[in-house]
Copies of this chain bind each other. A is one copy, B any other.
Amino acid sequence: MNRVEEQHKHFMRAAIQIAQEGMDRNDGGPFGCVIVKEGKIIGRGNNQVTSSNDPTAHAEVVAIRAACANLSSFQLEDCIIYTSCEPCPMCLGAIYWARPKQVFYACSREDAAAIEFDDEFIYQELNLAISDRKIPTQQLLQKEGQVVFKNWMTKQDKIAY
């Protein structure tokens, strides 16, 4: 086995260990994540949904926030994400906004469904027309909302991203 592959396994084992430790502390579900840049861990996270009363505190989101704080950047340039389970749609969205260079995952979404963390419902909902979603969703005051967007377009000192 080559050195690069061994290093990937090393960091994935760190993510898996964080999953176990977080679960042992009753922080939340059995999920862990580490983010690596230039061979060093720059962010760690484990699921903390139930302990922190934060439904967004999935391992990947916690780790992305920690890594970005560490880098003082809202982008994970040249970073690799190691997560103990395939990211849910929320975390996948977060990963795409953060733009790391690579992602490794251990357990599959089917493994997660088998322990009753089922993302499949959310994947299905994302693809439905808004009018068909299980959480009733309606548009309201579009024109008033668009005024802010027009103001954004003409704003001189904006930081685009």
Contacts and interface: CB of A to CB of B under 8 A. Distances in A.
Interface of A: 8-9, 12-13, 16, 19-20, 23, 26, 28-30, 32, 49-50, 52-56, 61, 64-65, 68-69, 71-76, 82, 84-86, 88-108, 111-112, 114-116, 121-123, 125-127, 130, 135-142, 144-149, 151-153, 155, 157-161
A155 B19 CA distance: 14
| Number of chain copies forming the complex | 2
Which A-B residue pairs are the 4 nearest by beta carbons? A90-B93, A106-B145, A89-B93, A30-B152
B111 A26 contact: no
Contact of A54 (B13, B54, B68, B95): B68
Q: Max chain B CB contacts within 10 Å: which of A23, A50, A90, A130?
A: A90
Nearest to A155: B23
A41 B94 CA distance: 26
Given A49-B74, A94-B55, A115-B149, A141 B13 contact: yes
Nearest to A149: B115
B125 A29 contact: no
